[in-house]
Structure 1
């Protein structure tokens, strides 16, 4: 009986001792989303701190913002918006991985089995990130609002109890199109993130493999390099997106961005860089580690 066709993914295979074994496409989607969700459970406080810093304006450090949240709202407030973060990974995270793998395989089929190079992978990452972000924008809007709610005056807080209640209330109170508020910067950010992250990770991993054996240390090191490059490139877009999605009714997207630069300066586009990078790097490496462990468990169960 002929061997099944092996499909490559953006992640390294879990074991070089099984070069002819692969994870079915349906499980690639499931494993990718699950890995992202598990990583989110760990780094959610960093995401909340990053969002609060972006909305707070100039003058507050990450330590000051964290201390203020714990003192005024309690330690568990650091996990506000977790349900939205998990649903975001279940939509955006799963979609970008599945679309990337589909496009990757299609490229190989059209080119007689030749895998895409660095430039092609960057383009595939850009397309898959954009598609995933458009699908995941509603959960992104809810995530921003839930993580920002605690800094608002009490009478202005939305007090969403869960991501599903938030989605329902936004549709009822503001209209379904508000779920895609800030879709353009969200999609653009995802395209930048995926183009930088996937291509840089692959390149860094290949270069480091010369001196570091394949394993968790290699994945961690390559992911942190990719996270740094991605953070520098995508943080200005992320800040603009956050401001737009949390803006009051009636404010145009352009006025939000213009006011930000005029009032806080160009460098405000990189405000909250440390918590942003601190979240992006660990989230990337944790996602890879969890994904590889699930892949390995699948192979052991065969």
Structure 2
């Protein structure tokens, strides 16, 4: 997603829409952080059900045969039938809190670095530099957002457990408080390693593929720098990012939801998750939940980008350009 902002300044003049590009450094640093989080929160209202289905698919197979979801559609039907339609929005408060922490930090850090290292004439940094910025921003956001991520994973997966084993968190703040009290403060950062790794992989993949996809689309006669181009570039970026990051995401999900029995954790890190998955369920289990993951990542990237660009444009037009 962060690559979307970077590519905009690279577009050829004849292909830029009438609003023009926002010069690097035009918006205050605090505004970049605020708008990044706001855009992410707006997108999560649409993508939360897909995130829940993705998490259920990744945990499918744990807890017995009756917890197996054959396909994403099968998971959707079973959730609605057994838990009700609004169960698709279980964990919404955690999803919003995650965006308020992770996305605010990630997008704010990226834009701040992007502005800082753009040349005085407005020329953006090179591709490798932008990839490095994306990885730094992703890692920083993941460190801050891991507690919200753990709450989100647990709240969206709670319905798959037998009633006697469900945690029953009321909201994200109840989840954070109970996890700290019942399992120790350090549990809020369980799986922080794979979470940070996933964030770095996702940001690097999104940045590189979005940039290249948009650059290619703008060389054709069918696209200009508008929402249609952003949508196409984001979906291509989402596909590549999904393929690359899903094994890391599955390891993160399983580690964050695992139980410790008699002091022995279920998994001993990402490598152990991958080994057990491949041995028990086959190599393609590393991409279990691919459809909802991609269906979420693509629209979430598109929506976040559209919201962010509109918010930045409004702020620039009303508070910067007219000064």
The answer to whether the superposition gives a TM-score over 0.5 is: yes
Give 1:87's aligned residue. Answer: 97
Q: Which runs of 5+ in 1 are unaligned?
A: 1-7
Give 1:24's aligned residue. Answer: 28
Per the TM alignment, residue 19 of structure 1 is displaced from its structure 2 partner at its CA by: 4.6
Is this contact kept in 2: 1:182–1:253, CA < 8 A? no
Give 1:10's aligned residue. Answer: 6
The TM-score, its normalising length taken from structure 2, stands at: 0.85
Is 1:52–2:52 an aligned residue pair?
A: no
Q: How many correspondences in the alignment? A: 294
Is this contact kept in 1: 2:7–2:214, CA < 8 A? no
Per the TM alignment, residue 136 of structure 1 is displaced from its structure 2 partner at its CA by: 0.6
- Taking the TM superposition and a 5 Å limit, the aligned residue runs for 1:64-83 are 64-83=74-93
Is 1:227–2:214 an aligned residue pair?
A: no
Is 1:236–2:253 an aligned residue pair?
A: no
Is 1:201–2:220 an aligned residue pair?
A: no
SS across alignment from 2:180:
helix
- Taking the TM superposition and a 5 Å limit, the aligned residue runs for 1:134-149 are 134-149=143-158
Q: Which runs of 5+ in 2 are unaligned?
A: 10-15, 62-67
- Taking the TM superposition and a 5 Å limit, the aligned residue runs for 1:1-302 are 9-10=5-6, 12=8, 17-19=19-21, 22-57=26-61, 60-108=70-118, 115-211=124-220, 212-249=223-260, 250-251=264-265, 252-254=267-269, 255-302=272-319
C-alpha distance in 1 between matches for 2:79 and 2:19:
48
Per the TM alignment, residue 16 of structure 1 is displaced from its structure 2 partner at its CA by: 5.1
Is this contact kept in 2: 1:11–1:288, CA < 8 A? no
SS across alignment from 1:253:
coil
C-alpha distance in 2 between matches for 1:193 and 1:170:
27
Per the TM alignment, residue 258 of structure 1 is displaced from its structure 2 partner at its CA by: 2.9
Per the TM alignment, residue 259 of structure 1 is displaced from its structure 2 partner at its CA by: 2.2
C-alpha distance in 2 between matches for 1:84 and 1:296:
28
Is this contact kept in 2: 1:35–1:290, CA < 8 A? yes
C-alpha distance in 1 between matches for 2:268 and 2:238:
27
SS across alignment from 2:156:
helix
Per the TM alignment, residue 205 of structure 1 is displaced from its structure 2 partner at its CA by: 1.1
